[in-house]
Amino acid sequence: MMKEEDATVYRRPYLVSGASGFALNAITRAMGKDLKAYIESMRSILASDSWNTKTTICWGLRDRWLTYDGVEDFCDGLKHNVVQLPMAGHHAQEDRGEELGNIIKRILRG
């Protein structure tokens, strides 16, 4: 899990600049409105008969932004693989980069 002081480095520009803060708030509001549409679009693409690419979804179980509810059922129903990362949050590549890299390497080697 990313340490709070490291996460602050990413957030600092948005917190100290009025223009950036306004932009972040606008993006957050827009995403909130469109998030359900984005999720449904992703589901439609991954469930499409034309989607024939082997897919593995790696999910950080400590994600505080998106819940894990339904991910396993969705993946099982479509023959997609799901890998749980118990110690990772929303940004699994930041929280558990080496672990995620090893998982990707294993998937690519087949």
The one-digit pLDDT tens for each residue of the chain (110 residues) are 667 777 777 777 666 666 666 776 777 777 777 777 888 898 899 999 999 888 999 999 999 888 888 888 888 888 899 999 999 998 999 999 999 999 999 999 98
Give the model's pLDDT for residue 1: 66
Amino acid identity at 10: Y
88 lies in the same domain as 105: yes
How many structural domains compose the chain? 2
Give the model's pLDDT for residue 103: 96
Measured CA to CA, the distance from residue 47 to residue 36 in angstroms comes to 16
Give the model's pLDDT for residue 93: 93
98 lies in the same domain as 59: yes
Q: Please say whether the beta carbons of 81 and 57 come within 8 A.
A: yes
Note down the domain range covering 44: 1-49
32 lies in the same domain as 67: no
Four-residue CA torsion sign, 102, 87, 71, 33: negative
Give the model's pLDDT for residue 3: 78
The dihedrals phi and psi of 101, each to the nearest 5 degrees, come to -60, -40
Residue of 60, 104, 58, 55 lying closest to 80 (CA atoms): 55
43 lies in the same domain as 58: no
Give the model's pLDDT for residue 21: 67
Q: Please say whether the beta carbons of 64 and 74 come within 8 A.
A: no
Measured CA to CA, the distance from residue 62 to residue 16 in angstroms comes to 28
